Copies of this chain bind each other. A is one copy, B any other.
């Protein structure tokens, strides 16, 4: 992949996290000091650019996740912890609270993201099921685990309560995973 393409997609991520969906092709060209012509040489339209950016953004996560799963030095429960913490990088880079804005204007892109997230959860689900079968963790409905984790992440991202107490997003996430794996009880 050529570097122009990459830098354009990086700019999309930067602008998305900065302004949500309210950024223009002109914003991209201004940020990178390139002409719109250059953007349109790489991507036929805005749709295609967003679609490619989604794939580009998720590729890193997928790879990281695959490494964790392949790492035989980790036991199953450690893998689950790490894969779950790995997952939120999506939420982080893409800033989940604003993704719903895509649904109407870029439905194809939105569905691509939804699909990617489902796939990512698929990995985690398989690990959870395996751990349940082996008696390493309790048998609990997986949707409960999934929704609890998703809900917590969205809350961490959307509230100002964490900032007030000087607890970082990263620390909160690790605390949350530890609570879910090991419980509050000592």
User: Which residues of A are at the interface with B, using a C-beta cutoff of 8 A?
Assistant: 77, 135-138, 140-141, 143-148, 150-156, 159, 161-162, 165, 167, 171-172, 175-176, 178-186
**Majority SS of interface residues in chain A?**
helix
Given A147-B152, A179-B180, 19 additional A-B pairs, CB 8 A? A136-B185, A138-B179, A140-B175, A140-B178, A141-B165, A141-B175, A144-B172, A144-B175, A145-B179, A147-B159, A147-B161, A147-B162, A148-B148, A148-B151, A154-B155, A179-B183, A182-B185, A183-B183, A183-B185
What is the total number of copies of this protein in its complex? 2
Which interface residue of A152, A156, A183, A184 has the most chain B CB atoms within 10 A? Answer: A184
